Structure 1
Amino acid sequence: MDAQSQPDPATFPETTGSGAVAEYVREARRLVFARYPDALGATLGGSSASGRATPGSDLDIAVLLPDDGISRREVLRHEGRLAEVFLHTRVDLGEVFAAARATRRATALFIYAESVLLHDPDGHVETLRAEAQALLAAGPEPLTPNESELGRFLLTDLLDDMAETGLGSDRHEQLAIADRTLNEAAHLLIAHRRAWNGVGKWLPRRLIAADPVLGRELLRGHLALAERADPAPLITAARGVLELLGGPLREGYVGHWRPSAGNGAAES
Protein backbone atom coordinates (compact mmCIF):
# COMPACT_ATOMS: atom_id res chain seq x y z
CA MET A 1 0.00 0.00 0.00
CA ASP A 2 1.63 3.25 -1.08
CA ALA A 3 1.39 6.56 0.74
CA GLN A 4 -1.39 7.87 -1.48
CA SER A 5 -3.58 4.80 -0.86
CA GLN A 6 -3.12 4.67 2.92
CA PRO A 7 -6.48 4.72 4.74
CA ASP A 8 -7.57 8.05 6.14
CA PRO A 9 -7.19 7.89 9.95
CA ALA A 10 -10.41 9.86 10.24
CA THR A 11 -12.25 6.78 8.94
CA PHE A 12 -10.87 4.49 11.67
CA PRO A 13 -13.39 3.24 14.23
CA GLU A 14 -13.11 4.95 17.60
CA THR A 15 -10.72 3.31 20.04
CA THR A 16 -12.21 2.71 23.47
CA GLY A 17 -10.91 1.24 26.69
CA SER A 18 -7.70 1.68 28.61
CA GLY A 19 -4.56 3.32 27.31
CA ALA A 20 -2.97 -0.12 26.97
CA VAL A 21 -5.85 -1.34 24.79
CA ALA A 22 -5.59 1.78 22.64
CA GLU A 23 -1.89 1.12 22.08
CA TYR A 24 -2.54 -2.52 21.13
CA VAL A 25 -5.17 -1.31 18.67
CA ARG A 26 -2.70 1.09 17.06
CA GLU A 27 -0.08 -1.65 16.80
CA ALA A 28 -2.60 -4.05 15.27
CA ARG A 29 -3.76 -1.48 12.72
CA ARG A 30 -0.22 -0.80 11.62
CA LEU A 31 0.32 -4.52 11.16
CA VAL A 32 -2.86 -4.96 9.12
CA PHE A 33 -2.19 -2.01 6.83
CA ALA A 34 1.45 -2.99 6.34
CA ARG A 35 0.97 -6.69 5.64
CA TYR A 36 -2.61 -7.04 4.34
CA PRO A 37 -3.34 -3.97 2.20
CA ASP A 38 -6.19 -5.73 0.36
CA ALA A 39 -8.09 -6.65 3.52
CA LEU A 40 -11.80 -5.88 3.52
CA GLY A 41 -11.65 -5.36 7.25
CA ALA A 42 -9.98 -6.46 10.47
CA THR A 43 -10.60 -6.73 14.16
CA LEU A 44 -8.52 -7.23 17.31
CA GLY A 45 -9.67 -9.85 19.80
CA GLY A 46 -8.30 -11.77 22.75
CA SER A 47 -6.75 -10.34 25.88
CA SER A 48 -5.31 -7.34 24.03
CA ALA A 49 -8.82 -6.17 23.19
CA SER A 50 -10.35 -6.94 26.59
CA GLY A 51 -7.76 -5.17 28.75
CA ARG A 52 -6.42 -8.42 30.26
CA ALA A 53 -3.16 -8.55 28.30
CA THR A 54 0.19 -9.10 30.00
CA PRO A 55 3.54 -7.84 28.69
CA GLY A 56 4.03 -11.18 26.95
CA SER A 57 0.56 -11.35 25.35
CA ASP A 58 0.34 -11.60 21.61
CA LEU A 59 -2.09 -9.83 19.29
CA ASP A 60 -5.06 -11.93 18.14
CA ILE A 61 -6.16 -10.41 14.85
CA ALA A 62 -8.92 -11.46 12.47
CA VAL A 63 -8.57 -10.28 8.89
CA LEU A 64 -11.41 -10.49 6.36
CA LEU A 65 -10.03 -11.27 2.91
CA PRO A 66 -11.46 -10.57 -0.56
CA ASP A 67 -13.46 -13.46 -1.97
CA ASP A 68 -10.49 -14.67 -4.05
CA GLY A 69 -8.17 -14.71 -1.02
CA ILE A 70 -6.64 -17.78 0.61
CA SER A 71 -7.88 -18.48 4.14
CA ARG A 72 -5.06 -19.29 6.52
CA ARG A 73 -3.54 -18.72 9.94
CA GLU A 74 -0.26 -16.87 10.31
CA VAL A 75 1.99 -16.31 13.30
CA LEU A 76 4.44 -13.47 12.90
CA ARG A 77 6.31 -10.78 14.76
CA HIS A 78 5.60 -7.13 14.04
CA GLU A 79 7.34 -4.23 15.76
CA GLY A 80 8.74 -6.71 18.28
CA ARG A 81 5.36 -8.17 19.30
CA LEU A 82 4.11 -11.63 18.40
CA ALA A 83 0.83 -11.71 16.52
CA GLU A 84 -1.50 -14.54 15.56
CA VAL A 85 -3.53 -13.61 12.51
CA PHE A 86 -6.64 -15.49 11.37
CA LEU A 87 -7.38 -14.71 7.73
CA HIS A 88 -10.63 -15.82 6.08
CA THR A 89 -12.79 -15.06 3.10
CA ARG A 90 -16.45 -14.50 3.89
CA VAL A 91 -17.43 -17.93 2.53
CA ASP A 92 -14.74 -19.74 4.49
CA LEU A 93 -15.50 -17.80 7.66
CA GLY A 94 -19.14 -18.82 7.39
CA GLU A 95 -18.03 -22.45 7.34
CA VAL A 96 -15.75 -21.85 10.34
CA PHE A 97 -18.61 -20.29 12.28
CA ALA A 98 -20.89 -23.23 11.43
CA ALA A 99 -18.27 -25.81 12.39
CA ALA A 100 -17.76 -24.14 15.77
CA ARG A 101 -21.22 -25.20 16.93
CA ALA A 102 -20.44 -28.87 16.24
CA THR A 103 -16.90 -28.87 17.68
CA ARG A 104 -17.87 -26.58 20.61
CA ARG A 105 -14.60 -24.71 20.04
CA ALA A 106 -15.27 -21.11 19.10
CA THR A 107 -11.92 -19.36 18.61
CA ALA A 108 -13.01 -17.40 15.55
CA LEU A 109 -16.40 -16.61 17.06
CA PHE A 110 -14.81 -15.09 20.16
CA ILE A 111 -12.25 -13.13 18.17
CA TYR A 112 -15.03 -11.50 16.17
CA ALA A 113 -17.65 -11.21 18.90
CA GLU A 114 -15.42 -9.83 21.67
CA SER A 115 -13.27 -7.46 19.70
CA VAL A 116 -12.29 -3.95 18.74
CA LEU A 117 -12.66 -2.87 15.13
CA LEU A 118 -9.43 -2.09 13.34
CA HIS A 119 -10.67 -1.42 9.83
CA ASP A 120 -14.17 -1.79 8.35
CA PRO A 121 -14.81 0.66 5.53
CA ASP A 122 -17.86 -1.16 4.15
CA GLY A 123 -19.33 -2.57 7.35
CA HIS A 124 -18.56 -6.22 6.55
CA VAL A 125 -16.75 -6.87 9.82
CA GLU A 126 -19.49 -5.27 11.91
CA THR A 127 -22.01 -7.59 10.27
CA LEU A 128 -19.80 -10.58 11.07
CA ARG A 129 -19.36 -9.42 14.66
CA ALA A 130 -23.13 -9.33 15.12
CA GLU A 131 -23.43 -12.82 13.61
CA ALA A 132 -20.69 -14.15 15.89
CA GLN A 133 -22.34 -12.62 18.95
CA ALA A 134 -25.66 -14.25 18.06
CA LEU A 135 -24.02 -17.66 17.54
CA LEU A 136 -22.17 -17.42 20.84
CA ALA A 137 -25.38 -16.55 22.65
CA ALA A 138 -27.15 -19.53 21.03
CA GLY A 139 -24.47 -21.89 22.29
CA PRO A 140 -22.97 -25.00 20.69
CA GLU A 141 -24.80 -28.11 19.56
CA PRO A 142 -25.95 -30.46 22.35
CA LEU A 143 -24.17 -33.73 23.00
CA THR A 144 -25.31 -36.52 20.73
CA PRO A 145 -26.21 -39.87 22.34
CA ASN A 146 -23.02 -41.40 20.92
CA GLU A 147 -20.88 -38.56 22.28
CA SER A 148 -22.49 -38.84 25.69
CA GLU A 149 -21.96 -42.60 25.89
CA LEU A 150 -18.35 -42.34 24.70
CA GLY A 151 -17.64 -39.63 27.26
CA ARG A 152 -19.19 -41.66 30.07
CA PHE A 153 -17.23 -44.76 29.07
CA LEU A 154 -13.90 -42.95 28.87
CA LEU A 155 -14.40 -41.14 32.17
CA THR A 156 -15.55 -44.32 33.92
CA ASP A 157 -12.45 -46.13 32.70
CA LEU A 158 -10.20 -43.34 33.95
CA LEU A 159 -11.85 -43.29 37.36
CA ASP A 160 -11.37 -47.05 37.68
CA ASP A 161 -7.65 -46.50 37.04
CA MET A 162 -7.47 -43.58 39.44
CA ALA A 163 -9.20 -45.50 42.22
CA GLU A 164 -6.19 -47.81 42.23
CA THR A 165 -3.74 -44.97 42.80
CA GLY A 166 -2.84 -43.27 46.05
CA LEU A 167 0.07 -42.88 48.43
CA GLY A 168 2.91 -45.06 47.23
CA SER A 169 1.64 -45.18 43.63
CA ASP A 170 3.81 -44.18 40.72
CA ARG A 171 3.41 -40.40 40.69
CA HIS A 172 4.03 -40.07 36.98
CA GLU A 173 1.21 -42.50 36.23
CA GLN A 174 -1.07 -40.89 38.80
CA LEU A 175 -0.52 -37.40 37.42
CA ALA A 176 -1.01 -38.59 33.84
CA ILE A 177 -4.34 -40.20 34.79
CA ALA A 178 -5.38 -37.07 36.71
CA ASP A 179 -4.63 -34.77 33.78
CA ARG A 180 -6.62 -36.95 31.41
CA THR A 181 -9.45 -37.24 33.92
CA LEU A 182 -9.69 -33.49 34.37
CA ASN A 183 -9.77 -32.94 30.62
CA GLU A 184 -12.37 -35.63 29.91
CA ALA A 185 -14.58 -34.57 32.81
CA ALA A 186 -14.29 -30.89 31.94
CA HIS A 187 -15.07 -31.37 28.24
CA LEU A 188 -18.01 -33.61 29.09
CA LEU A 189 -19.42 -31.17 31.66
CA ILE A 190 -18.97 -28.16 29.39
CA ALA A 191 -20.70 -29.95 26.52
CA HIS A 192 -23.53 -31.10 28.80
CA ARG A 193 -24.10 -27.49 29.86
CA ARG A 194 -24.24 -26.37 26.20
CA ALA A 195 -21.26 -24.08 26.84
CA TRP A 196 -18.18 -23.28 24.77
CA ASN A 197 -15.04 -25.34 25.27
CA GLY A 198 -11.39 -24.35 25.49
CA VAL A 199 -7.88 -25.73 25.85
CA GLY A 200 -4.81 -24.65 27.79
CA LYS A 201 -5.48 -21.69 30.06
CA TRP A 202 -8.95 -21.40 28.57
CA LEU A 203 -10.07 -24.81 29.83
CA PRO A 204 -10.45 -23.78 33.51
CA ARG A 205 -11.97 -20.46 32.45
CA ARG A 206 -14.58 -22.11 30.23
CA LEU A 207 -15.16 -24.84 32.81
CA ILE A 208 -15.99 -22.40 35.61
CA ALA A 209 -18.16 -20.36 33.26
CA ALA A 210 -20.10 -23.49 32.29
CA ASP A 211 -20.62 -24.80 35.84
CA PRO A 212 -19.18 -22.67 38.67
CA VAL A 213 -19.81 -25.26 41.39
CA LEU A 214 -18.86 -28.58 39.83
CA GLY A 215 -16.22 -26.93 37.66
CA ARG A 216 -14.39 -25.61 40.71
CA GLU A 217 -14.71 -28.99 42.41
CA LEU A 218 -12.94 -30.62 39.47
CA LEU A 219 -10.15 -28.05 39.55
CA ARG A 220 -9.73 -28.34 43.32
CA GLY A 221 -9.68 -32.12 43.03
CA HIS A 222 -6.98 -31.98 40.38
CA LEU A 223 -4.94 -29.65 42.57
CA ALA A 224 -5.35 -31.94 45.61
CA LEU A 225 -3.94 -34.83 43.65
CA ALA A 226 -1.06 -32.76 42.30
CA GLU A 227 -0.13 -31.37 45.71
CA ARG A 228 -0.97 -34.23 48.07
CA ALA A 229 -1.24 -37.34 45.87
CA ASP A 230 -4.84 -37.65 47.08
CA PRO A 231 -7.14 -38.86 44.29
CA ALA A 232 -10.37 -38.83 46.33
CA PRO A 233 -11.57 -35.24 45.67
CA LEU A 234 -11.05 -35.53 41.91
CA ILE A 235 -12.79 -38.92 41.84
CA THR A 236 -15.76 -37.48 43.73
CA ALA A 237 -16.05 -34.47 41.42
CA ALA A 238 -15.72 -36.56 38.25
CA ARG A 239 -18.38 -38.96 39.52
CA GLY A 240 -20.62 -35.93 39.91
CA VAL A 241 -20.18 -35.27 36.20
CA LEU A 242 -21.03 -38.87 35.37
CA GLU A 243 -24.21 -38.72 37.42
CA LEU A 244 -25.42 -35.76 35.37
CA LEU A 245 -25.22 -37.90 32.24
CA GLY A 246 -26.63 -41.16 33.52
CA GLY A 247 -23.85 -42.60 35.67
CA PRO A 248 -20.79 -44.78 34.99
CA LEU A 249 -20.71 -46.89 31.81
CA ARG A 250 -18.66 -50.06 31.52
CA GLU A 251 -20.15 -53.35 30.28
CA GLY A 252 -22.72 -52.85 27.58
CA TYR A 253 -20.93 -49.98 25.88
CA VAL A 254 -20.58 -50.31 22.10
CA GLY A 255 -18.41 -47.84 20.23
CA HIS A 256 -19.03 -47.59 16.49
CA TRP A 257 -16.05 -46.91 14.27
CA ARG A 258 -16.46 -44.36 11.47
CA PRO A 259 -13.81 -43.65 8.82
CA SER A 260 -14.12 -39.89 9.46
CA ALA A 261 -13.30 -40.43 13.13
CA GLY A 262 -9.71 -41.38 12.39
CA ASN A 263 -8.44 -44.39 14.32
CA GLY A 264 -11.73 -45.20 15.98
CA ALA A 265 -14.29 -43.32 18.04
CA ALA A 266 -13.91 -45.72 20.92
CA GLU A 267 -10.16 -45.31 21.27
CA SER A 268 -9.21 -44.35 24.82
Structure 2
Amino acid sequence: MTDQEAASTHAARMVAELLPHALGAVLGGSAAQGRSTPTSDLDIGVLVPDSARSGREVLRHEGRLVELFLNSVDDLAEFFQWDRARRRATVVFLYARGATLTDPHGHVARARRMAEEIIKLGPPPLTTEQWRHGRYVLTCYFDDLVDSSSSNRHEQLAVADHALREAAELLTARQDSWTGIGKWLPRRLVEADPELGTKLLDGHQAVAERADPTQLVSAVDELLRSIGGPLREGYSHRWQSSATGRS
Protein backbone atom coordinates (compact mmCIF):
# COMPACT_ATOMS: atom_id res chain seq x y z
CA MET A 1 0.00 0.00 0.00
CA THR A 2 1.37 3.44 -0.97
CA ASP A 3 1.54 6.32 1.49
CA GLN A 4 -1.32 7.98 -0.39
CA GLU A 5 -3.50 4.88 -0.13
CA ALA A 6 -2.65 4.48 3.55
CA ALA A 7 -3.59 8.11 4.24
CA SER A 8 -6.89 7.73 2.39
CA THR A 9 -7.71 4.53 4.26
CA HIS A 10 -6.93 6.15 7.59
CA ALA A 11 -8.97 9.27 6.75
CA ALA A 12 -11.99 7.22 5.64
CA ARG A 13 -11.81 5.14 8.81
CA MET A 14 -11.67 8.25 10.99
CA VAL A 15 -14.71 9.79 9.27
CA ALA A 16 -16.69 6.57 9.68
CA GLU A 17 -15.79 6.32 13.38
CA LEU A 18 -16.09 9.94 14.50
CA LEU A 19 -18.50 11.45 11.97
CA PRO A 20 -20.97 8.67 11.12
CA HIS A 21 -23.63 11.17 10.03
CA ALA A 22 -21.37 12.91 7.51
CA LEU A 23 -22.96 13.43 4.09
CA GLY A 24 -19.60 13.12 2.36
CA ALA A 25 -15.89 13.66 2.87
CA VAL A 26 -12.78 14.39 0.84
CA LEU A 27 -9.08 14.13 1.68
CA GLY A 28 -6.97 17.08 0.53
CA GLY A 29 -3.52 18.55 0.99
CA SER A 30 -0.23 16.75 0.59
CA ALA A 31 -1.69 13.41 1.72
CA ALA A 32 -4.06 13.32 -1.24
CA GLN A 33 -1.21 14.13 -3.61
CA GLY A 34 1.18 11.52 -2.27
CA ARG A 35 3.57 14.17 -0.91
CA SER A 36 2.97 13.74 2.81
CA THR A 37 5.61 12.96 5.41
CA PRO A 38 5.22 10.82 8.54
CA THR A 39 4.40 13.98 10.51
CA SER A 40 2.03 15.55 7.95
CA ASP A 41 -1.51 16.11 9.14
CA LEU A 42 -4.60 14.94 7.29
CA ASP A 43 -6.69 17.75 5.77
CA ILE A 44 -10.24 16.50 5.43
CA GLY A 45 -13.27 18.33 4.10
CA VAL A 46 -16.49 17.00 5.60
CA LEU A 47 -20.06 17.80 4.58
CA VAL A 48 -22.39 17.80 7.58
CA PRO A 49 -26.20 17.99 7.74
CA ASP A 50 -26.34 20.81 10.29
CA SER A 51 -24.89 24.25 9.59
CA ALA A 52 -24.37 24.72 13.34
CA ARG A 53 -21.53 22.20 13.08
CA SER A 54 -19.75 24.15 10.33
CA GLY A 55 -16.25 25.24 11.26
CA ARG A 56 -12.71 24.06 11.66
CA GLU A 57 -11.59 21.42 14.14
CA VAL A 58 -8.21 19.87 14.91
CA LEU A 59 -7.91 16.49 16.57
CA ARG A 60 -5.62 13.51 16.78
CA HIS A 61 -6.69 10.09 15.56
CA GLU A 62 -4.59 6.97 15.93
CA GLY A 63 -1.61 9.18 16.69
CA ARG A 64 -1.96 11.35 13.59
CA LEU A 65 -2.99 15.00 13.56
CA VAL A 66 -6.19 15.67 11.62
CA GLU A 67 -7.60 19.02 10.52
CA LEU A 68 -11.29 18.98 9.69
CA PHE A 69 -13.00 21.56 7.46
CA LEU A 70 -16.68 21.12 8.27
CA ASN A 71 -19.38 22.64 6.06
CA SER A 72 -23.08 22.04 5.69
CA VAL A 73 -24.33 21.23 2.22
CA ASP A 74 -26.66 24.25 2.27
CA ASP A 75 -23.91 26.71 3.25
CA LEU A 76 -21.14 25.37 1.02
CA ALA A 77 -21.77 27.62 -2.00
CA GLU A 78 -21.66 30.74 0.17
CA PHE A 79 -18.55 29.49 1.94
CA PHE A 80 -16.80 28.83 -1.37
CA GLN A 81 -17.48 32.43 -2.42
CA TRP A 82 -16.00 33.68 0.86
CA ASP A 83 -12.99 31.41 0.31
CA ARG A 84 -12.55 32.78 -3.23
CA ALA A 85 -12.70 36.36 -1.97
CA ARG A 86 -9.60 35.68 0.16
CA ARG A 87 -7.77 34.88 -3.09
CA ARG A 88 -6.36 31.67 -1.56
CA ALA A 89 -9.40 29.38 -1.90
CA THR A 90 -7.99 26.87 0.59
CA VAL A 91 -11.12 24.75 0.98
CA VAL A 92 -12.09 25.19 -2.67
CA PHE A 93 -8.80 23.57 -3.69
CA LEU A 94 -9.28 20.86 -1.07
CA TYR A 95 -12.48 19.74 -2.80
CA ALA A 96 -11.28 20.31 -6.35
CA ARG A 97 -7.93 18.54 -6.01
CA GLY A 98 -8.66 16.15 -3.16
CA ALA A 99 -9.63 12.47 -3.12
CA THR A 100 -13.20 11.48 -2.35
CA LEU A 101 -13.46 9.37 0.80
CA THR A 102 -17.21 8.86 0.94
CA ASP A 103 -20.11 10.27 -1.09
CA PRO A 104 -23.31 8.28 -0.49
CA HIS A 105 -25.64 11.00 -1.79
CA GLY A 106 -23.55 12.66 -4.49
CA HIS A 107 -22.98 15.85 -2.48
CA VAL A 108 -19.19 15.63 -2.75
CA ALA A 109 -19.36 15.20 -6.52
CA ARG A 110 -21.47 18.37 -6.79
CA ALA A 111 -19.11 20.20 -4.44
CA ARG A 112 -16.12 19.17 -6.54
CA ARG A 113 -17.77 20.46 -9.73
CA MET A 114 -18.56 23.75 -7.99
CA ALA A 115 -14.97 24.00 -6.75
CA GLU A 116 -13.56 23.35 -10.23
CA GLU A 117 -15.74 26.12 -11.67
CA ILE A 118 -14.45 28.58 -9.06
CA ILE A 119 -10.84 27.64 -9.78
CA LYS A 120 -11.40 28.20 -13.50
CA LEU A 121 -13.01 31.56 -12.68
CA GLY A 122 -9.93 32.55 -10.71
CA PRO A 123 -9.55 34.93 -7.78
CA PRO A 124 -11.34 38.29 -7.76
CA PRO A 125 -9.25 41.20 -9.07
CA LEU A 126 -7.87 43.75 -6.64
CA THR A 127 -9.71 47.05 -6.41
CA THR A 128 -7.99 50.29 -7.33
CA GLU A 129 -7.56 51.09 -3.63
CA GLN A 130 -6.13 47.64 -2.92
CA TRP A 131 -3.59 48.11 -5.71
CA ARG A 132 -2.56 51.53 -4.36
CA HIS A 133 -2.31 50.22 -0.82
CA GLY A 134 -0.30 47.20 -1.96
CA ARG A 135 2.11 49.35 -3.97
CA TYR A 136 2.57 51.70 -1.03
CA VAL A 137 3.23 48.89 1.47
CA LEU A 138 5.64 47.09 -0.85
CA THR A 139 7.44 50.40 -1.52
CA CYS A 140 7.91 50.82 2.24
CA TYR A 141 9.46 47.36 2.52
CA PHE A 142 11.53 48.01 -0.59
CA ASP A 143 13.00 51.19 0.96
CA ASP A 144 13.65 49.40 4.25
CA LEU A 145 15.33 46.54 2.39
CA VAL A 146 17.61 48.95 0.51
CA ASP A 147 18.59 50.55 3.81
CA SER A 148 18.93 47.25 5.70
CA SER A 149 22.25 46.31 7.18
CA SER A 150 23.79 42.90 7.74
CA SER A 151 24.83 44.20 11.15
CA ASN A 152 21.21 43.79 12.28
CA ARG A 153 20.15 40.45 10.90
CA HIS A 154 16.89 40.32 12.86
CA GLU A 155 15.60 43.48 11.20
CA GLN A 156 16.94 42.54 7.78
CA LEU A 157 15.28 39.12 7.84
CA ALA A 158 11.98 40.53 9.10
CA VAL A 159 11.90 43.10 6.30
CA ALA A 160 12.80 40.49 3.69
CA ASP A 161 10.00 38.21 4.88
CA HIS A 162 7.41 40.97 4.66
CA ALA A 163 8.69 42.13 1.29
CA LEU A 164 8.34 38.60 -0.11
CA ARG A 165 4.82 38.18 1.25
CA GLU A 166 3.59 41.51 -0.11
CA ALA A 167 5.31 40.90 -3.43
CA ALA A 168 3.63 37.51 -3.68
CA GLU A 169 0.21 39.08 -3.15
CA LEU A 170 0.79 41.65 -5.88
CA LEU A 171 2.50 39.37 -8.39
CA THR A 172 -0.23 36.73 -8.18
CA ALA A 173 -2.85 39.48 -8.50
CA ARG A 174 -1.09 40.87 -11.55
CA GLN A 175 -1.24 37.42 -13.14
CA ASP A 176 -4.86 36.80 -12.06
CA SER A 177 -3.56 33.81 -10.11
CA TRP A 178 -4.30 32.35 -6.71
CA THR A 179 -2.04 33.32 -3.84
CA GLY A 180 -1.01 31.32 -0.79
CA ILE A 181 0.65 31.41 2.59
CA GLY A 182 3.22 29.18 4.28
CA LYS A 183 4.57 26.48 1.98
CA TRP A 184 1.94 27.41 -0.59
CA LEU A 185 3.41 30.89 -1.05
CA PRO A 186 6.42 29.75 -3.15
CA ARG A 187 4.27 27.22 -5.03
CA ARG A 188 1.67 29.80 -6.03
CA LEU A 189 4.35 32.39 -6.74
CA VAL A 190 6.17 30.20 -9.26
CA GLU A 191 2.90 29.03 -10.80
CA ALA A 192 1.87 32.64 -11.37
CA ASP A 193 5.15 33.82 -12.90
CA PRO A 194 7.99 31.28 -13.09
CA GLU A 195 10.63 33.88 -13.97
CA LEU A 196 9.89 36.75 -11.60
CA GLY A 197 8.52 34.43 -8.93
CA THR A 198 11.82 32.53 -8.88
CA LYS A 199 13.77 35.80 -8.74
CA LEU A 200 11.83 36.85 -5.65
CA LEU A 201 12.37 33.51 -3.96
CA ASP A 202 16.06 33.37 -4.84
CA GLY A 203 16.47 36.93 -3.61
CA HIS A 204 14.81 36.09 -0.32
CA GLN A 205 17.09 33.07 0.04
CA ALA A 206 20.14 35.24 -0.59
CA VAL A 207 19.13 37.50 2.29
CA ALA A 208 18.65 34.50 4.56
CA GLU A 209 21.86 32.71 3.63
CA ARG A 210 24.28 35.52 2.80
CA ALA A 211 22.76 38.69 4.27
CA ASP A 212 22.75 40.05 0.70
CA PRO A 213 19.55 41.93 -0.24
CA THR A 214 20.73 42.86 -3.76
CA GLN A 215 18.75 40.18 -5.63
CA LEU A 216 15.57 40.73 -3.68
CA VAL A 217 15.81 44.51 -4.09
CA SER A 218 16.17 44.01 -7.85
CA ALA A 219 13.21 41.61 -8.06
CA VAL A 220 10.92 43.83 -5.97
CA ASP A 221 11.93 46.84 -8.07
CA GLU A 222 11.05 44.91 -11.24
CA LEU A 223 7.65 44.02 -9.83
CA LEU A 224 6.91 47.56 -8.69
CA ARG A 225 7.80 48.98 -12.10
CA SER A 226 5.44 46.50 -13.75
CA ILE A 227 2.44 47.64 -11.67
CA GLY A 228 2.85 51.40 -11.80
CA GLY A 229 6.09 52.01 -9.92
CA PRO A 230 6.88 52.77 -6.28
CA LEU A 231 4.25 54.77 -4.42
CA ARG A 232 5.36 57.19 -1.72
CA GLU A 233 4.26 60.83 -1.64
CA GLY A 234 0.69 61.24 -2.83
CA TYR A 235 -0.61 58.13 -1.13
CA SER A 236 -3.48 58.62 1.31
CA HIS A 237 -5.90 56.46 3.23
CA ARG A 238 -8.91 57.50 5.31
CA TRP A 239 -9.94 55.69 8.47
CA GLN A 240 -13.41 54.20 8.28
CA SER A 241 -15.60 53.84 11.35
CA SER A 242 -17.15 50.44 11.97
CA ALA A 243 -18.97 48.60 14.72
CA THR A 244 -15.71 47.01 15.79
CA GLY A 245 -13.58 50.13 15.78
CA ARG A 246 -11.47 51.66 13.04
CA SER A 247 -9.83 49.95 10.10
Give the TM-score of the pair, scaled to structure 1: 0.87
The partner residue of 2:193 within 211, 220, 233 is 211
The partner residue of 1:196 within 178, 185, 196 is 178
What is the deviation of 1:158?
Answer: 1.2
2:16 counterpart residue number: 33
**How big is each residue's C-alpha offset from its partner over 1:72-96, in whole Å with a ceiling of 9 and x where there is no partner?**
1111111111110111112332222
Q: Is the 8 A contact 2:7 2:31 kept in 1?
A: yes
| Local SS of the residue matching 2:39 | coil
Q: What is the identity, as a one-letter code, of the residue corresponding to 1:162?
A: L
Q: Is the 8 A contact 1:46 1:59 kept in 2?
A: yes
Q: Does 1:178 align with 2:160?
A: yes
Q: What is the identity, as a one-letter code, of the residue corresponding to 1:148?
A: W
Residue ranges of structure 2 left out of the alignment (5+ in a row): none
What is the deviation of 1:50?
Answer: 0.8
Q: Does 1:87 align with 2:70?
A: yes
Quick one: distance in 1 between partners of 2:51 and 2:28? 24
**How big is each residue's C-alpha offset from its partner over 1:49-85, in whole Å with a ceiling of 9 and x where there is no partner?**
1111111111110100114542011111111111101
Q: What is the identity, as a one-letter code, of the residue corresponding to 2:130?
A: E
2:138 counterpart residue number: 155
Q: Does 1:237 align with 2:224?
A: no
My pick for the range that moved more, 204-213 or 157-166, is 157-166
The partner residue of 1:74 within 54, 57, 63 is 57
Quick one: distance in 2 between partners of 1:262 and 1:68? 25
**How big is each residue's C-alpha offset from its partner over 1:152-203, in whole Å with a ceiling of 9 and x where there is no partner?**
0011111111111234x31111111111111111111112211111111111
1:8 counterpart residue number: none
Q: How does 1:1-268 map to 2 (within 5 A)?
A: 19-167=2-150, 169-259=151-241
Q: Is the 8 A contact 2:51 2:71 kept in 1?
A: no
Quick one: distance in 2 between partners of 1:159 and 1:53? 35
CA 1:260/1:241 → structure 2, altered by over 3 Å: closer, same or farther? farther
What is the deviation of 1:262?
Answer: 7.2
What is the deviation of 1:133?
Answer: 1.0
From the CA coordinates, give the structure whose radius of gyration is larger: 1
Quick one: distance in 2 between partners of 1:101 and 1:82? 26
Q: Percent identity between the aligned chains?
A: 52
Residue ranges of structure 1 left out of the alignment (5+ in a row): 1-17
Quick one: distance in 1 between partners of 2:243 and 2:99? 37
CA 1:215/1:31 → structure 2, altered by over 3 Å: closer, same or farther? same
Give the TM-score of the pair, scaled to structure 2: 0.95
Q: What is the identity, as a one-letter code, of the residue corresponding to 1:65?
A: V
Aligned residues: 247
Q: What is the identity, as a one-letter code, of the residue corresponding to 2:201?
A: L
1:3 counterpart residue number: none
Q: What is the identity, as a one-letter code, of the residue corresponding to 2:223?
A: V
Quick one: distance in 2 between partners of 1:264 and 1:244? 32
| Local SS of the residue matching 2:53 | coil
Q: What is the identity, as a one-letter code, of the residue corresponding to 1:160?
A: D
Q: Is the 8 A contact 2:56 2:68 kept in 1?
A: yes
My pick for the range that moved more, 39-48 or 91-100, is 91-100
CA 1:98/1:53 → structure 2, altered by over 3 Å: closer, same or farther? same
Q: Is the 8 A contact 1:218 1:238 kept in 2?
A: yes
| Local SS of the residue matching 1:177 | helix
1:5 counterpart residue number: none
Quick one: distance in 1 between partners of 2:145 and 2:29? 36
